[in-house]
Copies of this chain bind each other. A is one copy, B any other.
Amino acid sequence: MPKVTAEHRVARREQIVTAALTCVSEHGFHKTTMADVIRESGLSAGAVYGYFRSKDEIIAAIADQALGTVDDLFAEILSTEEPLTPAEAMRRVLVHVVAIAERPGGDITRIGLQAWAEAVHNPAIGAIAREKYKMLRGHYLRVVRRAQADGTVAADVDPEHVAQALFGLLPGFILQRLLLGDVTPESYSAGIDALFGSSTPQTT
Residues of A in contact with B (beta carbons under 8 Å apart): 26-31, 85-87, 110, 113-114, 116-121, 126, 129-130, 133-134, 137, 147, 152-154, 157-158, 160-176, 178-180, 182-183, 187-188, 190-203
Contact = CB atoms under 8 A, between A and B. Distances in A.
A196 B201 CA distance: 9
A47 to B, nearest CB: 15
A167 B174 CA distance: 12
A183 B133 CA distance: 13
Contacts of A118: 28, 117
Contact of A161 (B121, B160, B191): B191
A94 to B, nearest CB: 10
Contact of A169 (B169, B194, B203): B169
Contact of A188 (B161, B195, B203): B161
B191 A162 contact: yes
With most chain B CB atoms within 10 A of its CB, the pick from A171, A180, A202 is A171
A198 B85 contact: yes
18 contacts: A28-B120, A29-B117, A85-B201, A113-B117, A116-B179, A119-B179, A133-B176, A154-B194, A157-B190, A158-B187, A161-B187, A162-B195, A164-B172, A165-B191, A165-B195, A168-B169, A194-B202, A197-B199
B168 A121 contact: no
A165 to B, nearest CB: 3
A31 B85 CA distance: 43
A25 to B, nearest CB: 9
A165 B188 contact: yes
Contacts of A193: 157, 200-203
Contacts of A176: 133, 137, 164, 167-168
Given A170-B172, A191-B166, A199 B152 contact: yes
